[in-house]
Structure 1
Amino acid sequence: MSVNWTREAIEALGPTTTVETAASVIGVSKWLGYQLIKRGEWPTRVLSMGRVIKIPTHDLITLLYPSSPHVAADLAATSEDEGSAA
């Protein structure tokens, strides 16, 4: 069964979600999701707490909806922070 992952559906997941759900959101299998995390290639932050891995839903929204006003502001702030760290 395929889920239609709208912005509202992702926001309804709460602050974090599982790798399986996050993989579904970005359109890859659970197996590939874990492989990308293992290789350090997952496109968002990964929260590891022992054997539990969670993905911040805000990061998924930022990845999939970069043109929304508040997300664009978050990206700009992140870029400024990275620039000042150099």
Structure 2
Amino acid sequence: MSKNRRSRTSRRADPGLGGEVTWTPEAIRALGASTNLHTAAQIFGLAMSTAYLLAKRGQFPVPVIRVGTQYRVPVQPILAALCLESGHDQPP
């Protein structure tokens, strides 16, 4: 008997592409003000175990906010770290 589980993260994946997530600047901006650690780790290409370790040590590539038992990551610092904060997708 299989259980129907709901994912904790919202993934922007095309099911026809094997579930791989491609994070475009527009998709990152569409996350809103903050996202969860899993999504931020995907954006930076980090494994979840590495992401949790870095967050716990305060060494994640951008600031991480702990809210109870969850981590939240502001989107603006992600855009800044990827040089995408100005709204221009092409580097100068």
1:69 Cα offset (Å): 4.2
Q: Deviations over 1:37-80 (max 9, x none)?
A: 112211111111111210001111000125x6479xxxxxxxxx
Identical counterparts, % of pairs: 34
Gaps of 5+ in 1: 72-86
Gaps of 5+ in 2: 1-18
The whole-number CA distance in structure 2 between the counterparts of 1:52 and 1:26 is 19
The two structures, once aligned, show a CA RMSD in angstroms of: 1.9
Higher percent of residues as helix: 1
3-state SS, counterpart of residue 36 of structure 1: helix
Per the alignment, residue 23 of structure 1 pairs with 41
Per the alignment, residue 3 of structure 1 pairs with 21
The whole-number CA distance in structure 2 between the counterparts of 1:21 and 1:14 is 12
Q: TM-score w.r.t. structure 2 length?
A: 0.67
Map 1:7-86; keep pairs closer than 5 Å: 7-65=25-83, 69=86
